[in-house]
Structure 1
């Protein structure tokens, strides 16, 4: 298999669900150009109308739920909904089970304090998480499937249980960056089915050693439940830019990883900074699809006009493959794997069509794919 790369940014065709036009431009770059034609004032009026529909008349009642992590985008979401839209939000966060960074500890407290919001923190079942995380890593290369699944389902179940229909998510990942649901829409109702849906039947997890009664919330909500809710993407209503969100969040007390951790496989210090082991999930795109977070962010920065394509290529080549040892150490510490077991499992997950091992036993993209990224041919 030969990889193909976007001529404008550096996103490859191996990203699940991404599409390209005849000129070799990825859908994320095409959508970025379309956003320049959007009347954002009119979109803001649409958001106001939606908020007015769900605004409660009694003081102190929650008008909406916002799914948050404490990150830069979460800070911006809460600002828009509470300070601009004048809504009374309840924040819901799903914790992971890895060692938190000092910045992560600060930020999850800061988002409540900076905006004056109540927050529910859902703590997943650690016993189930240990088994599922190792099983899903070794068999599917999706080590954080369990917590990522809960990130999608838990806010929906809470919204239904508390009778708060309006549920606010951040960006439509497929539209902003390319994916299976790349059509522009404000509704996030189908998000729970967009690829984070179970790759396995729950019985398979039971067979792996997790009792069925410890697998709550992994099933998608019923259609009847979803039809009573109004989950939305905020990125439909406001122009989404992760760097601008970061600059805003800093002014409201958000802390990045400056002086704490220079991650060897990232090109920035402000995204997904809550914990160590969780970052394995994003890096696993590299052995499976030939790109990881360095590519993701370099591509976004090309679209934002912050990098040239050549500068982005250099960052991806230097950083994508170089997984930080702290990530491995934290993941192995939680799951009980030894480093040897980790790398033996990892070696089996590399896509042999994309990669070859060098004389040191390191996996690297095949030269033809490196050359194609540098000079894409369509």
Structure 2
């Protein structure tokens, strides 16, 4: 009989199972505490710091770009580009092609170009990429691993090749510091710094060599430049969210006014229609987060809105119960069978992989320890109905 309960933040609806989250003695999570501290920030001073950094890295005489902005075409990418253009920067936008790009994702990329920027898109070998998608799904439970790696490696490789020192990242998920560019000393990106944010999940790029015919020559774009190459150019980065108040919903509203396209309904597994619109594999990615940690994208977004006072915790909880953690039969309207076909995996094999990565301490099991599923393949969290009381 299962007796373990999941503790939830009393202010938002984030569970204690979120990696690196801490719930204090008052029952408030570290993410909510971090948001509290934003009221103490002097945002005008931070903006001036940003302007000073941009001036320091600005290309003199227009002989090169002022910075690189890694972009996917989403709402945050639009916001980053809009703000940097407003600040007078001349950016080069760089996209590491999405794993399985959706039609709306392509349209949003084309719209971003129309903001008035030079743009480079690097597409990795799709045959090799599909192999890596499958390996990463079966070994670490993350079908989007190749995308998470190349989001960081490709812009940095371009920065080295084109001798553009400054990279403008978007949101800093920890919201603790501005990035190496803000440091007076030792402000160069290093391999160690990038690997901390690169989402490798214990699977190293070198581990792929020899699997399913993958060779080192296939992994060039997945590999960081050497620390010597980074230091030679002085490649550094900053998180725009450290210097300007960051809010995904705000970013979406601003992006829409510049032509960014949202989905026609709330995205599967989410409570919003304005994010994660580019990668058709994202439904599987988010579902595995739910299997591992007991929360999905709906929880993430609900917590963001609760902290900003847009919805109550009670409403957020109801929305999460309706939308979070459903088996990803479709994503952006694409059937899961079509997504799995890309990585040469059957639905039966996929369900077996799901069960292997499911944290059984978080979900209802029968007397034999088997996961209990409804007719649609959905699981039940162990104390979902009592969150209000925690």
Return the TM-score normalized by structure 1: 0.90
- 2:242 and 2:27 map into 1 onto residues whose CA distance is 25
Matched, 1:278 2:279: no
Structure 2: give runs of 5+ residues left out of the alignment. 182-188, 365-370
- 1:45 and 1:330 map into 2 onto residues whose CA distance is 49
Given that 1:302 and 1:309 are in contact with CA atoms closer than 8 Å, whether structure 2 keeps it comes out as yes
Aligned to 2:360: 352
- 2:110 and 2:273 map into 1 onto residues whose CA distance is 19
Matched, 1:88 2:90: yes
Once the two structures are TM-superposed, the CA of residue 252 in structure 1 deviates from its matched residue by 0.5
- 1:108 and 1:335 map into 2 onto residues whose CA distance is 24
Given that 2:152 and 2:198 are in contact with CA atoms closer than 8 Å, whether structure 1 keeps it comes out as no
Matched, 1:364 2:379: yes
Q: Which has the higher contact order (CA 8 A, sep 6+)?
A: 1
Aligned to 2:350: 342
Matched, 1:373 2:373: no
Q: Which of 177, 180, 186 in structure 2 is aligned with 1:187?
A: 180
Aligned to 2:215: 211
- 1:38 and 1:121 map into 2 onto residues whose CA distance is 36
Given that 2:287 and 2:328 are in contact with CA atoms closer than 8 Å, whether structure 1 keeps it comes out as no
| Matched residue SS, 2:171 | coil
- 2:106 and 2:201 map into 1 onto residues whose CA distance is 30
Once the two structures are TM-superposed, the CA of residue 222 in structure 1 deviates from its matched residue by 3.2
Alignment of 1:187-336 (within 5 A): 187=180, 189=189, 190-194=193-197, 196-197=199-200, 199-209=202-212, 210-227=214-231, 228-258=234-264, 262-327=266-331, 328-336=336-344
Q: May I ask how many residue pairs the two structures share in their alignment?
A: 363
Once the two structures are TM-superposed, the CA of residue 32 in structure 1 deviates from its matched residue by 1.0
Given that 1:3 and 1:372 are in contact with CA atoms closer than 8 Å, whether structure 2 keeps it comes out as no
| Matched residue SS, 1:255 | coil
Show structure 1 runs of 4+ deviating over 6 A.
Answer: none
Assess, with a 3 A threshold, how the Cα gap between structure 1 residues 225 and 5 changes in structure 2: closer, same or farther.
farther
Q: In terms of mean alpha carbon deviation, does 3-12 or 205-214 score higher?
A: 205-214
Aligned to 2:79: 76
| Matched residue SS, 2:40 | coil
Matched, 1:111 2:112: yes
Once the two structures are TM-superposed, the CA of residue 371 in structure 1 deviates from its matched residue by 4.5
Given that 1:153 and 1:192 are in contact with CA atoms closer than 8 Å, whether structure 2 keeps it comes out as no
